[in-house]
Chain A
Amino acid sequence: MLKLFFSNQLYLVLTQALVAALAAMVVVMLARKRGIHLESETLVAMLRGIIQITAVGSILLLLLRAPRWTSALLLAGMIVAAGATSARRAKGMPGAFRVSAWSIAFGSGSVIALMTWLGVIDTAITSLVPVGSMLITNAMNTNGLALNRFRSDVLAHVGEIETALALGAEAKNSVSPYVQASFEASLIPAIDSIRSLGIVWIPGLMAGMLLSGARPVYAAIYQFVVLAMIFAASGLTSLVSTLLIRDGIFTTAQQLSLQPGR
């Protein structure tokens, strides 16, 4: 319907963005009525999101003519930003940023490098950067979920963990059930994405490929390829981050430093 009112493409896109943002704010207002206050966080996140994605869109336009090595630089920058974002989900955990950045770098970096070397991801910037960013974003989300779950589980089971320590258990053994639970929980979205592919969800990449004229079967298979890569990158990230953060919550004298109220 909006197309009836706007012939100019720019105005049309801006109005579409505004309408989508208004829909999100309606939900925020409904939440407010139930005493859940998300107003400022959502508003800031949406403003940041639109500014960031517009900036990246403009940069990508410039990068079409840039040398290929610049994509490595861009992806490295994304990994650092992803590390900082997901570290916020691990408030009070020592070394959360360092753990997040290294885990995302290892998880998504190794999958991107391997798949690019094998030719699954094209080396052109227009392909490598968007696909790479999908892997990094999902690794970031998985890492955030893993750290958040681990933190909650440890804080809820301080008594059990310290009992195991007091009985002579190694620090890493005292939290092993929570490491495992965090790893499993963090991968639920990635597993569900693959499971529901095509039935519940037709991802943007596939829709984009179809719109640009690709054959549906090729678009579908490549979408599966991307989701499998996302799973691999997310799984590796979560595996590394839960192991690294596990060691970070104990002192050298095997004392639990992550405690409620400390």
Chain B
Amino acid sequence: MSSSADRVNSIQELVDIPVNVSVTSDPILRTEHLSRVVKEKVLVEDATFEVRTGEVLAIVGPSGSGKSSLLRLLNRLDEPTSGTVYVEGIDYRQIAPRELRRKLGLVNQRPYLFPGTVEQNLRFGPLQRGETLSQDAIERLLSRVGLKGYAGRNVANLSGGEAQRVSVARTLANSPLVLLLDEPTSALDETSKREVESAIQRIVREQGLTCILVTHDTAQAARLAERALVLEAGRVLRHGPISEVLHA
């Protein structure tokens, strides 16, 4: 069993930036015939796709097409009615839900920050596993989302864009394998949207983190992602390189 000092060190290593991790051909996440039907309403139907290590995949489609439902299935906040997800080749039903959710970190459309300071929010995830983030790690996470020096601020005094970036940093504090972003800028004004986008770009570029971005904004998808998956009425309509998919 590792000591708490070891665990603190492992967090420090994980939040250190491994620069320019390239996209590999190994799928870090693969869905197989993933479906969810609630009261005879099809939310997601037979979704089969894979995400490779280090890539950004955009899930695009009109409102109500099942984008957020699909992301909830990946984080296992909802249960598939059929099909499954493989994370690093392991059926995700064999992974403890709490560990799975740490590995596939979800950032919601609304940030839902817990009352208190920015620092307390960042500490939340690691604390659930009995781990403590050091002050250095907190500052590194905040500087990655462009909020250096915000640790002691009360979350009640943050703007929408700042709150969303804290939400991203809070998820990153869990050192996820894949970052799931559910319309992270849809509730923001244009300036805040650019700030959040640039924070995401910085994280992806510097850390080489695998991302799945749900967005209804195809221009944003083109700016941030290499590949896209188009959903319509819960079904995968097209799937491939962003330029081909969006201009098809």
A173 vs B190: C-alpha distance in the bound complex, in angstroms? Answer: 36
By size class, the interface of chain B is 20 to 34
Q: CA–CA, A255 to B99, complex, Å?
A: 14
Contact B170 A167, beta carbon cutoff 8 Å:
yes
Measured CA separation A253–B99 after assembly (Å): 11
Q: Is B78 an interface residue (CB 8 A)?
A: yes
Residue A167 contacts which of B76, B110, B124 (CB distance < 8 angstroms)? B124
With A251-B79, A253-B79 as contacts: A168 and B110 at CB distance below 8 Å: no
On whether the beta carbons of A166 and B106 are closer than 8 Å, the reply is yes
B105 within 8 A of A: yes
| Extra contacts besides A160-B114, A168-B99, A168-B101 (13): CB < 8 Å | A163-B112, A164-B114, A164-B124, A165-B77, A166-B101, A166-B105, A167-B125, A167-B128, A169-B124, A253-B76, A255-B97, A256-B77, A262-B38
Contact status of A168 and B108, CB under 8 A, knowing A251-B79, A254-B98, A255-B76 = no
Q: Is the interface of B mostly helix, strand, loop or mixed?
A: mixed
A-to-B contact residues, CB < 8 Å: 159-160, 162-170, 173, 251, 253-256, 262
- The closest CB in chain A to the CB of B109 belongs to A159
Contacts between the two chains (Cβ within 8 Å), count: 57
**Binary interface profile of B, 82-103, with partner A (CB < 8 Å = 1, else 0)?**
0000000000010001110110
Interface, chain B (partner A; CB < 8 A)? 38, 75-79, 93, 97-99, 101-102, 105-106, 108, 110, 112, 114, 124-125, 128-129, 170-171, 174
- Residues of B within 8 Å of A169, CB to CB, are 98, 124, 128
In angstroms, Cα B112 to Cα A234, docked, is 34
> In the complex, which residues of chain B have a beta carbon less than 8 angstroms from the beta carbon of A255?
76-79, 97
Residue of B nearest to A252 (CB): B97
Could you name 20 residue pairs across A and B whose Cβ atoms are closer than 8 Å?
A: A162-B77, A165-B101, A166-B75, A166-B77, A166-B101, A166-B105, A166-B106, A167-B125, A167-B174, A168-B98, A168-B128, A169-B98, A173-B128, A253-B79, A253-B97, A255-B76, A255-B77, A255-B79, A256-B77, A262-B38
